[in-house]
Homo-oligomer: A and B are copies of this chain.
């Protein structure tokens, strides 16, 4: 299964990222919520990922760090509002390089005919401008890499 679809409408404050995986929903949910698995798929291919903290329950905190080839670190952090296995994750999301620009990310996992899972992530941003800055910084590339890497990981689980 296929490509990652983005819906980024002019003037809105959100980004939708959608990918259909050829894997059961509970397996996709595990890959998204297991701190041991996240480094194997989260982030752009050219960066490593370290999970500093990931407590996937309401009120739990998370912090992921992307690491470049020279050892430079880029931190991301937030808190979980809801974690409902195997279908829903709602969490805040902040890149530490642009403090104060906090987004709300909702990930829904939907069963599709044939045994696959549709991953629908919506991130809502504080302004159209902060959303568009992420799009300009090629945030879609990071998302697409993550979805492709997750598909590869799911084939091995």
Query: What residues of chain A have their CB less than 8 Å away from a CB belonging to chain B?
Result: 11-14, 58-61, 78-82, 90, 92, 94, 102-104, 106, 122, 124-128
13 further A-B contacts with Cβ under 8 Å, apart from A12-B13, A78-B81, A79-B79, are A11-B11, A12-B128, A13-B124, A79-B80, A81-B92, A81-B94, A81-B102, A92-B92, A102-B106, A104-B104, A104-B124, A122-B126, A124-B124
Please give the distance in Å from A28's CB to the nearest CB on chain B. 19
Q: Which residues of B contact A80 (CB under 8 A)?
A: 79
Q: Which residues of B contact A12 (CB under 8 A)?
A: 13, 128
Instruction: Let me know if A126 and B106 touch, CB within 8 A.
Output: yes
- Whole-angstrom distance between the alpha carbons of A81 and B144 in the complex? 26
Q: A14 is contacted by which of B59, B102, B126 (Cβ under 8 Å)?
A: B126
Instruction: Let me know if A61 and B58 touch, CB within 8 A.
Output: yes
Please give the distance in Å from A125's CB to the nearest CB on chain B. 7
- Whole-angstrom distance between the alpha carbons of A99 and B80 in the complex? 16
Q: Which residues of B contact A128 (CB under 8 A)?
A: 12
- Whole-angstrom distance between the alpha carbons of A11 and B80 in the complex? 28
Q: Which residues of B contact A14 (CB under 8 A)?
A: 13, 126-127
Please give the distance in Å from A95's CB to the nearest CB on chain B. 13
- Whole-angstrom distance between the alpha carbons of A90 and B104 in the complex? 11
20 A-B residue pairs with CB within 8 Å: A11-B11, A13-B13, A59-B59, A59-B60, A78-B81, A79-B79, A79-B80, A79-B81, A81-B92, A81-B94, A82-B102, A90-B92, A90-B102, A92-B92, A92-B104, A102-B104, A104-B126, A124-B124, A124-B125, A124-B126
